[in-house]
Amino acid sequence: MKATKAFTLIELLVVIAIIAILAAILFPVFAQAKVSAKAISDLSNLKQIGTSLVMYTNDYDDMYTYATPENWSGAPSWGSTSLGWTYNLQPYSKSLPLFRSPMDGANTVASPSWEGVAVSYGINSFTADTNAAAVNFVGMTTATWGGRCMKGTYTNTPDCTLRGIAAPFAQINAQDGGELNVGALTTTQVTYPGDTIALATKFDSDALKWGGPGNTPGAGNATNYQCGGYFDGVNATDGNQPNGGDYECGGAQIPNGLIPTTVLAPLGPTGAVGQVKQWSSNFSFVDSHAKFMNIGATDPNPDTNPGLNKWDGLRP
């Protein structure tokens, strides 16, 4: 009877080596595929939320939702324009998980009893000093007007102009003698709907890391469902921001393509936008289309070419 030939030790070691090599080649590919799948899911979330925003404006006289509740002392009825953007859009999206990106970190909120689930996205709430807005930023660097319009004292005369689509803080001119001129823009006011950002990825896990100047670890606030996240001002070209970084409801800076890559977020070139891939992220535009693009390219030169700022809904 012919004997069955067995593997030799050398052959066995060769097979094991081949399997190890294949594993080393394929496992990174699997990991990259998983990350890509999450990035696509993140983009899909933004697309659906952007569609919900368009549906909302159709029902509310073409006016965009506020970013944060107009009156902190007591919210009006469900669906009122005085509520924050997450509350107003949820009835159209029909989904709470939609506001959470699969790429985000720990689902953490400071007071879950009233803040609700953490939110992985922010709405465009870009503001500017009224004097800067009056001349459409021409000849004015971000360092000149501080990058953010958030005055230390309230006056009866609004001294901030909304250039994004939704008010970044509650105190508008109809509330507490506030500083902002309006609570939200209308669809007809936006000059370039196909090239103006409505929403962007903004990881809650990033917001928790960000602080004021110096980016003190753990100083940021959770971006939460009660009022959502927003983007309210472009950081100064020198990387400094006298009004702080991330605070109340996860508000923080929009990108500034002139900032060196050595400056940390949210004051760096990517601002407070969460990076889906290095230097790039997902964005939903006013006309509801969504796309993946370089973050710095959304505002490449705010000092000398503000007309390229895709966050400015009123740019000429």
pLDDT at 242 over 60: no
Task: Find the helix or strand (DSSP H, E) in which 45 lies.
Answer: helix 9-59
Asked whether residue 148 is assigned to any structural domain, the reply reads: yes
pLDDT at position 277 over 60:
yes
Neighbours of 291 (CB within 10 A): 11
Could you tell me which of 104, 96, 299, 106 has the C-alpha nearest to residue 197? Answer: 299
Q: Is 37 part of a structural domain of the chain?
A: yes
- Say what percent of the chain tops pLDDT 90: 36
pLDDT at 12: 77
Tell me whether residue 315 is in a domain: no
pLDDT for the residue numbered 213: 46
Cα–Cα distance for residue pair 125/67, rounded to 1 Å: 7
CA gap 298, 308 in Å, rounded? 7
* Average pLDDT taken over every residue of the chain: 81
Q: Are strands 290-294 and 280-285 parallel, antiparallel or unpaired?
A: antiparallel
79: confidence class by pLDDT, cuts 50, 70, 90? very low
pLDDT in the model for residue 196: 98
Type of residue at 293:
M
59 inside domain = yes
Whether residue 167 is contained in a domain is answered as yes
Residue 232 lies in a domain: yes
Q: Which domain holds residue 162?
A: 9-308
Residue 38 lies in a domain: yes
* Contact (CB, 8 A) for 196 and 288: no
pLDDT at residue 101 is higher than 90: yes
Alpha carbon 14 to chain centroid distance? 51
pLDDT (tens digit per residue) in 115-151: 677 889 999 999 888 888 888 888 888 888 777 776 6
How many domains, the chain?
Answer: 1
Q: What letter represents residue 171's amino acid?
A: Q
> Which residue in this structure is represented by tokens 């001129």?
181
Per-residue pLDDT tens digits for 191-207:
999 999 999 999 988 87
Start-to-end C-alpha separation, the chain: 92
Q: How many residues does the chain have?
A: 316
- Both tokens of 78, joined, read 């469900």
Compare 4 and 141 and report the one with higher pLDDT.
141
**pTM for the full predicted model:** 0.84
Is 187 within the bounds of a domain? yes
